[in-house]
Amino acid sequence: MSKKALAKQNRNPTPTRKFTSFEEFWPHYLQAHARPETRALHIAGTTLGILGVASWLATRRAKYLAAGLAASYGSAWIGHFAFEGNNPAAFANPIWSLEADLRMYRLWLTGDLETEMQRVLGKSGKAAG
């Protein structure tokens, strides 16, 4: 099956409901990042974003901040549109999306991301509960 067909088959449209807490938002965020390609692009983008911010802080050259943000958002959006077939959660929940992205990054760094995916989503790839 082609990547395009797989993305279409696995579409997870972003729900329009409002979340009342980050803990309520977290399962939605993980479901929107169910495919490993999407998570890999987020990890790469977050790394580039952190490097861009660090470079900007060290040099005060705005081009590093701009490059870091563009690389961070660009890679994440590619994952959503090309592999996941959904809209980035940042469109509807920018602050919680940033917090969730940083939590996902920390879980990846510690080797606990796949365990958390299984805990929250189970084998179905859909949020439990």
In the DSSP assignment, the letter for residue 89 is G
Nearest to 78 by CA among 52, 41, 33, 28: 41
- Helix, strand, coil shares of the chain, percent, nearest 5, are 70, 0, 30
Distance from C-alpha of 69 to C-alpha of 128, rounded to nearest angstrom: 32
Residue carrying structure tokens 């060290």:
58
Domain ranges of the chain: 43-121
pTM of the model: 0.81
Residue 8 pLDDT: 46
Distance from C-alpha of 36 to C-alpha of 53, rounded to nearest angstrom: 25
**pLDDT per residue as tens, the chain (129 positions):** 344 444 444 454 444 568 999 999 999 999 999 999 999 999 999 999 999 999 999 999 999 999 999 999 999 999 999 999 998 888 888 999 999 999 999 999 999 999 999 999 986 556 554
